[in-house]
Amino acid sequence: MGITRLRELDSPAAVTAGGRTLSYAELRGAAGALAAQFEGAGRAAVWAQNTLEAIIAMVACLECGVELVPLNPKLGSSELEHILSDACPDLVIGGPDAGVGGTHSGVPQLTVDPDARGNLPEQSFDDERPALVIYTSGTTGRPKGVLLPGRAITSNLDAIARAWAWTERDTLTHALPIFHVHGLVLGIFGPLRRGGHVHHLERFTPEAVAAALSGGASMLFGVPTMYHRLAEAARADPAVAGALRGARLLVSGSAGLPARTFEQIRLTTGQRIVERYGLTETIMNTAVRADGERRPGEVGRPLEGVELRIVAEDGSDAPADGETIGEVVVKGPNLFLGYLNRPDATAEAVRDGWFWSGDLATVAPDGYLRIVGRKSTDLIKTGGYKVGAGEIEGALLEHAAVSEAAVKGERDEDLGERIIAWVVLTGGTSVPSERDLADHVAVLLAPHKRPRAVHFVSELPRNAMGKVIKQQLVAG
Ligand code: MCA
Ligand code: AMP
């Protein structure tokens, strides 16, 4: 068996997107027709719009052993250039008619036809080879390509399925972007590995989620921002509350779910949201089981096969007292192979086979983890997206009117954290507005990386080494 059960099944519903449903046989046929054009490609970049076409392309790559690099369709020019130069795909699938342009305009581009039919080529799977290259932000530098092997995906999806009693009878619905682990590995490959059905909503709205759940979906995956908006909608609209009440499992992840949101959903729908915790480099590490106790702010125990330590500052393992804080360190079949072209970064993150996550947690006497923060203030989680402060500072400095920039995350009820920038201007004649700088970042990187507020200051607070003291930057 490959990563999905596409080759074995003929069930009537594999995937629904854009108002259209493909059976397993239809999805297999469409993926087969596309794969016939791969011509020995080793790596393909796929524009990951929330469409049936993008899903077909991703599945075709996965089933044919072509390394898949999903591209955020809203990537800015500078980030797109970085990813294409770093990953050097042999093919680009989908996307604008004009292709990727720039220095990569020679890369062949394929389009997907959901009505085409072909046969998937025979394929023997090497579970240790990269199946996916997913770009994720770090504290410094440009995003890094995380190489995920088939083994990490299959072992993790199976462990999650056992924790959540997830079977082919489940229909999963979600509106997550499909260029990250959450929306793609868990949200698309997960149901297809179970032999179940995924209903992708294209765009998140509480009403669309409610309609999918009322229409037979049994599970929902979302980030805390989505549950925050669902809680508000459920309070105002009994139809939304009723739809959420009927679900078998509501799962939240990618960022900490505020206890308040957990409570609001419980009060309006009777549902206790299940949390799980992971990273791009590890897929999922812990999860609250479907039959386990669901406590706000806790992300459950390690999944089967995952070894996990909480390493306190003095290097010892933190006691399971629910209080001592340490860094989450992970080992297991769920681990990535390394960062593409970055042996230095890989060696820093993985030592003696253990991956150092940078997340801080406590562990309760019954083994449940609580994620309490991150080691670096330079990693921001906004709407469930991880963003490095350094990336945004670098983009701001590319603006002709900016001479210095510092970026921080500030607490935000809806987004978890909101990106705030402090900038010193060069003093030239053209003075940019807050909006100009936000747009500048949105165009170079991606819209979710834009600052939500920009403070113009005459200087940044610095220590004797010249390093910006971010604790002294306070949003006015
Ligand atoms: C606004 N927009 C702009 C600008 N300002 N576009 C260009 N330039 C600007 N200056 C546009 C945006 O593109 C968007 O367009 C719209 O305005 C609103 O954007 P925004 O306010 O940023 O967000 P939102 O639409 O309210 O989205 C909230 C969200 C989203 C739906 C919760 O943040 C989201 O999908 N988050 C999921 C992140 C995720 O999946 N993370 C997983 C990685 P338009 O309306 O057209 O879109 S973590 C992971 O994988 C690990 C392993 C894990 O644990 O899961
Ligand atoms: P990414 O690098 O985008 O894959 O995001 C991984 C990060 O998301 C982790 O290092 C955590 O900081 C955060 N994260 C994921 N799930 C949770 C959760 N349930 N609670 C708190 N933080 C989470």
pLDDT in tens, 248-277: 999 999 999 999 999 999 999 999 999 999
Q: What is the CATH number of the domain that holds 455?
A: 3.30.300.30
Q: How many domains does the chain have?
A: 2
State how far the alpha carbon of 186 is from the alpha carbons of 137, 152, 251, in Å: 20, 12, 11
| Residue 418 dihedral angles phi and psi, to the nearest 5° | -120, 140
Asked if residue 106 has pLDDT above 90, the reply is no
Range of the domain at 179: 15-188
Task: Give SS3 for 331.
Answer: strand
Average pLDDT value for residue range 236-242:
98
Residue 352 pLDDT level (bands cut at 50, 70, 90): very high
Among candidate residues 170, 188, 206, the one where a domain is terminated? 188
Task: Give SS3 for 83.
Answer: helix
- Give the position, in ligand 2's atom list, of the atom nearest the Cα of 386: 3
- Which of 91-100, 337-346, 462-471 is the most confident on average? 337-346
Asked if residue 103 has pLDDT above 80, the reply is no
Among candidate residues 188, 206, 227, the one where a domain is terminated? 188
Q: Mean pLDDT, the chain, as a whole number? A: 96
Q: Are 384 and 179 within 8 A, CB to CB?
A: no
Residue 123 pLDDT level (bands cut at 50, 70, 90): confident
112 domain residue, yes or no:
yes
130 domain residue, yes or no:
yes
Among candidate residues 155, 188, 221, the one where a domain is terminated? 188
Q: Are 188 and 196 within 8 A, CB to CB?
A: no
Average pLDDT value for residue range 390-409:
97
| Residue 163 dihedral angles phi and psi, to the nearest 5° | -65, -35
State how far the alpha carbon of 326 is from the alpha carbons of 93, 197, 322, 356, 358, in Å: 43, 39, 11, 11, 10
146 domain residue, yes or no:
yes
pLDDT for 388 equals 97
**For residue 111, which amino acid is it?**
T
Residue 107 pLDDT level (bands cut at 50, 70, 90): very high
Q: Are 357 and 386 within 8 A, CB to CB?
A: no
Q: Are 230 and 265 within 8 A, CB to CB?
A: yes
For the Cβ of 221 lying below 6 angstroms from any atom of ligand 2, the answer is no
**Lowest-pLDDT range, 152-156, 234-238, 424-428?**
424-428
145 domain residue, yes or no:
yes
Asked if residue 390 has pLDDT above 80, the reply is yes
The 10s digit of each residue's pLDDT in 358-386 is 999 999 999 999 999 999 999 999 999 99
- Ligand having the closest approach to the CA of 139: 2
Query: What is the sign, positive or negative, of the torsion defined by CA atoms of 129, 135, 139, 141?
Result: positive
Give the bridge partners for 196, in sequence order. none
38 domain residue, yes or no:
yes
Q: Ligand 1: which of 50, 77, 204, 371 to mutate, most ligand atoms within 8 Å of CB?
A: 204
| Residue 370 dihedral angles phi and psi, to the nearest 5° | -125, 120
Q: Ligand 1: which of 225, 261, 286, 436 to mutate, most ligand atoms within 8 Å of CB?
A: 225
The 10s digit of each residue's pLDDT in 271-320 is 999 999 999 999 999 999 999 999 999 999 999 999 999 999 999 999 99
296 domain residue, yes or no:
no
Q: Ligand 1: which of 180, 220, 417 to mutate, most ligand atoms within 8 Å of CB?
A: 180
pLDDT for 98 equals 63
| Residue 422 dihedral angles phi and psi, to the nearest 5° | -115, 125
Percent of the chain with pLDDT over 90: 93
- Ligand having the closest approach to the CA of 252: 2
Residue where the block lists tokens 């709205």: 205
Buried/exposed code over 265-287 (b: 16+ C-beta within 10 A; e: otherwise) = beebbebbbbbbbbbbbbbbbbb
Q: What is the CATH number of the domain that holds 62?
A: 3.40.50.12780
- Give the position, in ligand 1's atom list, of the atom nearest the Cα of 204: 31
303: which DSSP letter? P
**CA–CA separation, 349 and 130 (whole Å):** 18
Query: pTM for the full model?
Result: 0.96
For the Cβ of 280 lying below 6 angstroms from any atom of ligand 2, the answer is yes
Q: Of residues 102 and 112, which shows the higher confidence score?
A: 112
**CA–CA separation, 225 and 229 (whole Å):** 6
39 domain residue, yes or no:
yes
336 domain residue, yes or no:
no
148: CB partners within 8 A, 6+ apart: 130, 131, 132, 133, 134, 181, 185, 280, 283, 336, 337
